[in-house]
């Protein structure tokens, strides 16, 4: 930790002394691969994913050329400060701690959570009344755990698991009535799996922010305010003209 | 009473981790752990006494299966036994429709079964050892009085064996309390489960685990004290005179 801190401080010092904000025509973006489906390589070795497609689209709108630079997660912020690249677009959740070091764009994606139950379940919605006396599964210490504990702790039994796999096992064993999971995780482990009949109950959930966070943002160096502003404008553009939905559709399938 | 609750509120004021809610989790955990350990020890003890007697039987068909049972349960980690009983049973076809399912569905009973079988195996061996160590002279004296095998077991061998086994059994009780900490891996909210929850929620490993360690220490102290009391009573004849 100390080392990391000193490295980032060094990065800050270097960044502060050397350069003023400048205009970019070539933006290098740091990314930690793989993290499917946000960023990963195809079997042919080509870099792809939601972040990659959206990032390339944004660069085009901003009018710069993009280059993706792979960087392990634990060094990704120091790498930005050390000017190995100019931005990070790697499923990075916006939070106050990181805000002190880097400058975030507007959030471009909030990973939703969702309720999953066996297809035979008669649950239709997830109000406190309908889950009364049910057994809910969550992964211990996740934001889903916090949400369920506060909202349903008084009416339902909550089983907390160390891993999502244990939870899926207990759902198959019919020990759980319903589980609350990251939507992409639940989709790949429950909905898309063979021979297993599960359904999503109710809407995907991204609110309130207090539990589900601010979502993913693109990180820039603090002084590159102009660049961040240009990306924000481009982001708004793609969200309005439907390009964003197309990319979303490509990686996350149909909206229910 | 009002004073106490006001004092308690003052004590908790400004404390982010030990709120009334998290203390409630610890309390629930204490209740679960106590139930689990107490029940498994009592049932295990009831099972272990006949098993220990039969373990010394002359007939291999009685002796060997018991030896095999204690060997398996003492030879594998309790965690593995718990996993097998909790996650393993669900792969038995039709278990969900059987009359056993209401019991096996909850995490408590699979954990209780695993702990009971485990402690019964250890206790069987402890008692078996104590029975074997009965002084030859006592048995000869009992025979000389014309006691039957059963009467001798009841009046002479078991009472003295229990006394000899007491210190070792006290250890087993403490081990069981500490072993129960693994119950949280199968979603049981025992003391350790409560601590893990508080740790994960507030990212506060020291506070969460030190507090729970203190509770375990208190429980251990109570057990130690109880067994010291028992030993004083039951082993009084072994104390030096002055």
**Mean local confidence (pLDDT), B70-96:** 90
Looking at the partner chain, which of B87, B199, B200 has a beta carbon nearest the beta carbon of A169? B87
Give the mean pLDDT of chain B: 90
Same domain? A9 vs A98: yes
Strands (E), chain A: 26-31, 40-41, 47-48, 65-70, 87-88, 102-104, 113-118, 135-139, 157-161, 178-182, 198-205, 219-221
pLDDT of residue A20: 46
**A133 closest CA partner among A151, A156, A149:** A156
Q: Which residues of A touch B197 (CB under 8 A)?
A: 140-141, 160
Per-residue pLDDT at A8:
56
Q: State the residue range of the domain holding A76.
A: 2-14+21-110+214-252
Question: Using CB atoms, which residue from A140, A173, A175 is nearest to B196?
Answer: A140
What is the count of structural domains for chain A? 2
Residue B37: phi, psi to the nearest 5? -70, -45
Q: How far apart are CA B70 and CA B118, in angstroms?
A: 8
- Beta carbon pairs, A and B, within 8 Å: 35
Mean pLDDT, residues A186-202: 79
| Percent of chain A with pLDDT strictly greater than 70 | 89
CA A179/CA B144 separation, integer angstroms: 69
Find chain A residues with C-beta within 8 A of B200's C-beta: 140-141, 145
B159 pLDDT above the threshold of 80: yes
Please report, for chain B, the start and end positions of each structural domain, with discontinuous segments joined by +. 21-234
Q: What is the mean pLDDT of residues B39-49?
A: 96
Strands A26-31 and A65-70: parallel
Which of the 8 DSSP states describes residue A94? P
| Contact residues, chain B to chain A, C-beta under 8 Å | 87, 90, 96, 105, 107, 185, 187, 189, 193, 196-197, 199-201
Best mutation site among B89, B187, B192 for testing chain A: the one with the most A CBs within 10 Å? B187
Between helices B191-202 and A143-152, what is the axis angle to 10°? 110
Whether residues A182 and A246 fall in one domain: no
Question: Which residue is closest to B104 within chain A, CA to CA?
Answer: A175
Q: Is the pLDDT of residue B49 over 80?
A: yes
* pLDDT tens digits along A4-38: 555 555 555 544 444 444 678 899 999 988 877 88
Its pTM stands at: 0.73
Indicate the pairing of strand A65-70 with strand A198-205. unpaired
Q: Name the token pair of B128.
A: 């078996």
pLDDT at residue B134 greater than cutoff 50: yes
Instruction: Find, in chain B, the residue whose alpha carbon is nearest to that of A161.
Output: B187
Q: In what order do the strands lie in the sheet with A135-139?
A: A157-161, A135-139, A178-182, A113-118, A198-205
- Report the interhelical angle of B20-55 vs B191-202 (nearest 10°): 150
pLDDT at A99: 86
Task: State which CATH number among 3.60.15.10, 3.10.520.10, 1.10.3720.10, 3.40.50.720 fits the domain covering B21-234.
Answer: 1.10.3720.10
- Check whether A3 has a pLDDT greater than 70: no
At residue A19, the pLDDT reads 45
- On whether both A119 and A184 belong to a single domain, the answer is yes
What's the confidence (pLDDT) of residue A7? 54
Q: Which residue of B has its CA nearest to A172?
A: B90
How many CA atoms, within 13 angstroms, populate the side-chain half-sphere of residue B53? 14
* Mean pLDDT for chain A overall: 84
pLDDT-derived band at B114 (thresholds 50, 70, 90) equals: very high
| Residue A77 pLDDT exceeds 50 | yes
Closest CA to B109 of A32, A180, A222, A175: A175
State the pLDDT confidence band at A183, using cuts at 50, 70 and 90.
confident
CATH at A34: 3.40.190.10
Which residues does residue A104 pair with via DSSP β-bridges, in sequence order? A219
Left, alpha or beta for A115 (phi > 0: left; psi -120 to 50: alpha)? Answer: beta
């Amino acid at each position: 930790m100390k080392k990391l801190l000193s490295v980032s401080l060094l990065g800050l010092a270097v960044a502060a002394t050397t350069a003023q904000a400048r205009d970019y025509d070539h933006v290098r973006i740091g990314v930690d691969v793989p993290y499917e489906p946000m960023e990963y390589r195809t079997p042919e070795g080509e870099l792809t994913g939601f972040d990659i497609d959206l990032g390339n689209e944004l660069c085009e709108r901003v009018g710069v050329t993009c280059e993706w630079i792979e960087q392990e997660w634990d060094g990704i912020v120091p790498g930005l400060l050390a000017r190995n690249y100019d931005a990070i677009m790697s499923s990075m959740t916006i939070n106050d701690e990181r805000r002190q070091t880097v400058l975030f764009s507007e959030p471009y994606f909030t990973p939703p959570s969702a309720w999953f139950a066996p297809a035979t379940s008669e649950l239709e919605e997830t109000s406190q009344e309908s889950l009364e006396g049910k057994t809910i599964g969550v992964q211990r210490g996740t934001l889903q755990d916090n949400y369920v504990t506060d909202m349903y702790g008084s009416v339902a039994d909550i089983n907390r698991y160390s891993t999502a796999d244990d939870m899926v096992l207990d759902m198959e064993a019919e020990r759980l009535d319903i589980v609350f999971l990251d939507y992409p995780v639940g989709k790949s482990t429950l909905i898309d799996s063979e021979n297993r009949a599960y359904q999503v109950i109710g809407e995907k959930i991204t609110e309130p922010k207090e539990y589900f966070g601010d979502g993913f943002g693109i990180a820039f160096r603090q002084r590159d305010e102009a660049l961040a502003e240009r990306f924000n404008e481009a982001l708004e553009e793609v969200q309005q003209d439907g390009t964003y939905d197309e990319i979303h559709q490509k990686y996350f399938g149909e909206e229910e | 009473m009002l004073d106490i609750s006001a004092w308690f509120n003052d004590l908790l004021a400004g404390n982010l981790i030990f709120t009334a809610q998290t203390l409630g989790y610890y309390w629930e955990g204490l209740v679960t752990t106590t139930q689990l350990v107490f029940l498994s020890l009592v049932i295990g003890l009831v099972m272990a006494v006949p098993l220990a007697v039969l373990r010394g039987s002359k007939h291999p068909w009685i002796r060997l299966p018991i030896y095999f049972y204690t060997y398996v349960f003492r030879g594998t980690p309790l965690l593995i036994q718990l996993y097998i009983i909790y996650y393993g049973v669900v792969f038995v076809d039709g278990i969900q429709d059987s009359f056993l399912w209401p019991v096996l569905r909850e995490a408590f009973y699979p954990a209780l079964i695993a702990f009971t079988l485990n402690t019964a195996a250890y206790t069987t061996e402890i008692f078996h050892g104590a029975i074997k160590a009965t002084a030859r002279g006592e048995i000869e004296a009992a025979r000389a009085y014309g006691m039957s095998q059963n009467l001798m077991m009841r009046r002479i061998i078991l009472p003295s064996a229990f006394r000899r086994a007491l210190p070792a059994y006290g250890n087993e009780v403490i081990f069981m309390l500490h072993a129960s900490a693994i119950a949280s891996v199968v979603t049981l909210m025992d003391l350790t489960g409560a601590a893990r929850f508080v740790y994960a929620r507030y990212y506060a490993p020291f506070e969460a685990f030190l507090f729970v360690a203190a509770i375990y220490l208190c429980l251990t102290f109570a057990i130690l004290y109880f067994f010291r009391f028992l030993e004083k009573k039951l082993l009084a004849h072994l104390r030096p005179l002055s």
